[in-house]
Amino acid sequence: MTVYAAPVDDMRFLLHEVFDVSTALAGLPGLPEVDADLMDAVLGEAAKVCEGAVFPANAVGDREGATLTDAGVVMPAAFHDAYRQWADGAWTGIALDPAYDGQGLPRVVDFLVTEMVCGASLAFSILPGLTRGAWRAIAAHASEDLKRRWLPKMATGAWTGAMALTEPQCGTDLGLLRTRAEPAADGDGWRLTGTKMFISAADHDLTDNVVHLVLARLPDAPPGTRGISLFLVPKMLPDGRRNGWSVGSLEDKMGLHASPTCVVNYDGALGWLVGEPHRGLPAMFTMMNDERLFVGIQGIGAAECAWQSAAAYAAERLQGRAPGGPVRPDLPADPIVHHPDVARMIDTARATTEGGRALAAWVAIQLDRAEHLPPGPGRAAAEDLVALLTPVVKAAGTDFAFEACVAAQQVLGGHGYVRDWGVEQLVRDVRVTQIYEGTNGIQALDLVGRKLLPDGGRLPQRLFDLVRADLPGMPADLREPVARVLAASERVVETLQAGLSPTAAAEAATDILRLFALLSYGWMWGRMAAAAERGDGALHAAKRKTARVFARRVLPEAETLTARIAAAAA
């Protein structure tokens, strides 16, 4: 059976002992003063909802699935109760702007709470995940009138959000999209017509309304990506009528059965323009960047549940004897956790998960700084680092998560393949996180082409400076391998800056992203190991041990990556 205990102590360790978050966020203009006790209390309350309400709905939700009826999408019964508790706590909006009914907590707290809900149920997490992203895009680009009308109920979770980009002929390449918008003869908005697919949570019966952000072309739109506009298209119109769109079908997917993935037919649906005409794609990217970070966190949450479940199984399952001799001679066999090959799988999954959590939390602190600092060098640095690390959090978070879930399944042996035990659901559910919100290959191309190359490599240089500054404080068994990965990463950026052909760069992109993941996760482990040396609790000992696992088992991947990158560049 899967188990999930929200890793609240690990999160508090990160916030206070590794990042000293109170100091890092102190005095940011517009960010309410939040002391450590309040943050800790919020994490504790979130853990209760996620463990007590969301996690129990996950397996039954997968069994029942979302279904399409004449009245629209019906969600699994268990999700109704879980969502009610979630909305009662208004958890969706804890880090949204209080001007529109958010609660104004730092992003870093939201990231950690989000990881909990993802660990409890990936399918459930999509509801608040998309709502927050849509909220931010509306808040950043829509008129004040639209904001006042739509944001408050999304912030409380009374309504949810969705984004409608993909069409049958266009996924990654949005320039090919065809959905069109024409001025509404009968109102102040636009009438949208077209078919969108792969729309998560486009419809459901958990809330009274669902707010779509839809990409479409105005009548005078130029072709390609410079002719796309963004529209807010709700399910229920302000006058209480049902809007002109319907769900054509639900995709039958490998996993995430409790998350409806809809084909949506817009038949003259009424919508309102968000932002400037033809500038929909940059506006949508406000949401996409938010979602990419969210999807990385989905991976981290699922991986946490996976390794915890594998560890629980391995502590109970008795098979054979440890290679160094019986550990539990009182039992007919040793628990399999004492087999080094089993421990290796669990420990590695834990090391990549905790590294991912640290990086995501660190990025969230930069988001808080980017959002609240006045224009200037500090804000520019934070913005650069968020931009650089967003594809890393997304792709590495989900790639490592898939590996962790598959490893957890392997620990359970045959039971890992059987549905009753739940770990196979994690594998099926987490798999799509490597695909949606831009495949991980697209993340790699984004990193290489848009983040490492421009302006002489200004963005990666910022990361290199930070890692280099922290090297002296790291324990030796982390410092040396992290320094090697740093040097390798610097060489890669030099190669790119020296004019590597676009084809070679594209061939090497996925390996380059993984190298930057090793660098940034290794950096985080160096900082965590340093903080752990200052404490003497069981948690500190576990961190020191897991840091060594990361150094011994994960960082050596850099050797292969650099060889492959060199081969592509040659």
Question: CA gyration radius for the chain?
Answer: 23
Q: What is the DSSP letter of 553?
A: I
Residue count (the chain) = 570
Neighbouring residues of 238: CB distance < 8 A, sequence distance ≥ 6: 149
**Residue 432 beta carbon to its own copies: minimum distance, rounded to whole angstroms:** 5
Query: Which positions from 128 through 187 interact with its own copies, judged by CB under 8 A?
Result: 166, 169-173, 175-176
**Which of these ranges, 96-104, 105-113, 155-163, 321-329, lies near its own copies under the rule CB under 8 A?**
321-329
Nearer to its own copies, 344 or 462 (CB): 344
Smallest separation, CB 197 to its own copies (Å): 8
Number of residues that bind its own copies (CB under 8 A): 74
Shortest reach from residue 177's CB to its own copies, in Å: 11
What is d(CA 508, CA 235) in angstroms, rounded to the nearest whole number? 43
Which of 26, 38, 41, 318 binds its own copies (CB under 8 A)? It is 318
Q: 467-480: b or e for each residue (b if 16 or more CB lie within 10 Å)?
A: beebeeebbebbbe
Closest separation in Å from C-beta 397 to its own copies? 16
Binding span for its own copies by CB under 8 A among 202-210, 304-312, 359-367, 415-423: 415-423
Nearest to 386 by CA among 156, 179, 190, 108: 108
Q: How far apart (Å, rounded) are the C-alpha atoms in residues 284 and 187?
A: 24
Helix (H/G/I), strand (E/B), else coil: 526: helix
Shortest distance, CB of residue 380 to its own copies, whole angstroms? 29
Q: Within 13 Å, how many C-alpha atoms sit on residue 270's CB side?
A: 15
Q: Is 507 in the site for its own copies (CB under 8 A)?
A: yes
Applying the rule CB under 8 A, the residues between 39 and 58 that interact with its own copies are none
Half-sphere exposure in the Cβ direction for 47 (13 Å, CA): 15
From 140-148, 271-279, 334-342, 537-545, span contacting its own copies (CB under 8 A): 334-342
Distance CA 19, CA 472 (A): 17
**CA–CA dist 197, 171 (Å, integer):** 9
Tokens encoding 353: 């998960």
- Minimum Å gap between C-beta 263 and its own copies is 11
Position of tokens 């209080």? 98
Least distance in angstroms from the C-beta of 131 to its own copies: 21
Could you give the CA distance from residue 568 to residue 511 in angstroms, rounded to a whole number?
Answer: 10
DSSP string, 200-247: ETSS-SSSS-EEEEEEEB-TTPPSGGGGBEEEEEESB-TTSPBPSEEE
Q: Which of residues 285 and 417 has its CB atom nearest to its own copies in the complex?
A: 417
| Contact pattern from residue 369 through residue 408 relative to its own copies, giving x for each residue in contact according to CB under 8 A and a dash for the rest | ---------------------------------x---x--
339 touches its own copies by CB under 8 A: yes
Q: Considering beta carbons, is residue 265 or 439 the nearer one to its own copies?
A: 439
C-alpha–C-alpha distance, residues 209 and 198, integer Å: 19
Cβ proximity to its own copies: between 146 and 435 the closer is: 435
Among 22, 466, 553, 569, binds its own copies (CB under 8 A): 553
Phi then psi dihedrals of residue 33, to 5 deg: -60, 125
- In the region spanning residues 460 to 479, those forming contacts with its own copies, defined by CB under 8 A, are none
Assess whether 507 carries a catalytic annotation: no
Per CB under 8 A, contacts with its own copies among 187-216 are 197-198
Selection from 254, 210, 259, 204 nearest residue 57 by Cα: 259
Q: Which of 145, 208, 494, 559 is in the footprint of its own copies by CB under 8 A?
A: 559
Secondary structure string (H, E, C) spanning 270-283? EEEECCCCCEHHHH
Which is the catalytic residue, given 167, 437, 480, 490? 437
Q: Kindly state whether residue 64 participates in binding its own copies, applying the rule CB under 8 A.
A: no
Residues 231-290 that bind its own copies (CB under 8 A): 251-255
Site for its own copies in 76-105 (CB under 8 A): none
User: Judged by CB under 8 A, does residue 330 bind its own copies?
Assistant: no
Pairing of strands 210-216, 67-69: unpaired
The smaller minimum CB distance to its own copies, of residues 420 and 455, is found at 420
Q: What are phi and psi of 555, to 5 degrees?
A: -60, -30
> Of 131, 366, 510, 546, which lies in the binding site for its own copies, with binding defined by CB under 8 A?
510
Q: Residue 346, interface with its own copies (CB under 8 A)?
A: no
Please tell me the distance from the alpha carbon of residue 279 to that of residue 366, in angstroms, as a whole number. 26
Nearer Cβ to its own copies (148/419) = 419
Residues 417-446, interacting with its own copies (CB under 8 A):
417-420, 424, 427-428, 431-432, 434-436, 439-441, 444-445
Q: Residue 328 in contact with residue 319, Cβ under 8 Å?
A: no
When binding is defined by CB under 8 A, the residue of 89, 413, 473, 535 that contacts its own copies is 413
Answer for which of 183, 238, 326, 340 binds its own copies (CB under 8 A) is 340
Of 90, 158, 322, 569, which lies in the binding site for its own copies, with binding defined by CB under 8 A?
Answer: 322
First-residue to last-residue Cα distance in the chain: 49
Residues with a catalytic annotation lie at 437
